[in-house]
Amino acid sequence: MSILSGKKVLLGITGGIAAYKSAILVRSLIKAGASVKVVMTESAKDFVTPLTLSTLSKHPVLSSFTNEEDENDVWNNHVDLGLWADLMVIAPATANTLSKMANGVCDSLLLATYLSAKCPVYVAPAMDLDMYKHPTTTNSLKKLQEYGNTVIPAAHGELASGLVGEGRMAEPDAIVDFIEEHLKAAAPLYGKKVLITAGPTYEPIDPVRFIGNHSSGKMGFELACKAAALGAEVVLVSGPTHLEIQNPGIKLIRISTAREMYEEVHRHYPDTQITIMAAAVADYRPAQVAGQKIKKKTASMNIPLEPTDDILASLGSVKKEQYLVGFALETQNELENAREKLRRKNLNAIVLNSLMDEGAGFGKPTNKITFISKDGTEKSFPLKSKAEVAGDIFNEILLRFDAKEN
C-alpha cells in the first residue's frame, strides 16, 4: 500500500507546456490511493482543459475566486482549500509562478491557496534550460526551499524549444515516487503495524439487554488516526460505537463482546510492532445468556457473573518484540494502581486517566493523562483534546520504541 493512500492532495497547475502531463499525474496520484483536487491558473487552461481534470479527479477544477457565469454563486475559498490538503503539489511550476511564490505575489487563486496552505508543498519546475539555469530562477528555488518547500528536481531531456538539457518537468510517475520516498523518510512508523482497541464491549444478558459501559471509543479512534498519519499500517478493533473511519490505511474490525475482541486481537498481535489497548473491556459477563427476553416477574433479579478474558494480561504473557501499552481508568490510588497494572500485566507503558479529573474519561472530547513507562519515567499532561492526547502518547512511545525493554 502506498504511503499516499488516504492522503488529500491539492494539485496546482500553471501555464507551461508540461501541463499536458498533469492529467497523467492526477491518475497516478489516484492510483496510489490519494484524493485529488485541482487548482489551475487561467493560462494553464491553454494546455489542458478543466473538463479533463475534473473527470479524472472526480472534483470540480477551480481557477478563479468566483464563478463569473453566476454572480450569485459562492466564492471559492482558498483558505478552505489550503486547510483541506494533506500536501500540495505544483506541477508544472513555471519560472513566473516560482518567482511569485518566492516573493509573496498573490494574483491568482492558486497563489492565494499556496500562501494559505499549512501542509507540505512540493514544486516541480518546468521551463527551458536557459530559464532553469538563470540566477533569478535559482534564487527563487533557493528561497522556496528556505521557506520549507520541497523542490522535485527537473529532469534532463528534450525540451519544447527543441533544445536538450535540464528544465524538463519530472515525469508523473517520478513525481509520485519522489513524494512517496520523501514522505516515508518523515514517517517514523512507515512499514510498522500498529494494533489498537477502542470502545466498550457489550456482554449479553438476553437478546435485548447487555452489560456495558459509557466508553465512546473516541480515544482509540484518535490513536488509530495518529498512527496512520505517522505512516503505520493500522488495525483498529472496536466495540460498539457510532464512530467511523475513512482512512484506507486503517482496517476497522467491529466486535461486540470481550471474547470477540480477544480473538481478533490475538489474531493480529503476533505480527504487530506496537499494540495499544485503549478499549474499555467489560470485566464480567453473565454466566448464562438467556435465549429469550427475560420477563419482569419479581421486584429483584440476580444475574450470576463470571470474569471475561483479561486480554491485556494475555498479550503481556506472550509478548516478544511488541511494544505493549495499556490504559488505566482509575478513581482512587491512581498512580499506585496504574504502576501495579503495568508490572502485573508485563506492559511497556500504561496511560493513566482519572475519572476524578474534570473533562477526562468516557464520552468527553478531552482527556488528561499521565504516561507511565516501564523504564521508570512518568510524564503528566494537561487537559487536551483527545486528538492532541493521541499525539502526546505516540511522542512518548517513539522516544522509547527503538530501545524498548521487553
Residues assigned a catalytic role: 213
The residue with cell 500498529 is 194
Backbone angles phi, psi at 87, to 5 degrees: -160, 155
Comparing CA positions, the residue from 280, 181, 273 lying closest to residue 232 is 273
**Burial of residue 230 (number of CB atoms within 10 Å: 0-12, 13-18, 19+):** buried
Which residues, in sequence order, are CB contacts of 56 under 8 Å at separation 6+?
Answer: 23, 26, 27, 30, 36
Q: What is the DSSP letter of 5?
A: T
Comparing CA positions, the residue from 397, 331, 400, 403 lying closest to residue 361 is 331
Overall size of the chain counted in residues: 406
Q: Tell me the residue type at 330.
A: E
The answer to whether 361 and 341 are in contact (CB under 8 A) is no
Radius of gyration of the chain (CA): 27
The answer to whether 88 and 121 are in contact (CB under 8 A) is yes
Cα 101 off chain centre by: 28
State the Cα–Cα distance between residues 197 and 237, nearest whole angstrom.
5
Calculate helix-pair angle for 135-146, 95-103, nearest 10 degrees: 50
37: enclosing H helix or E strand = strand 35-40
State the Cα–Cα distance between residues 335 and 347, nearest whole angstrom.
15
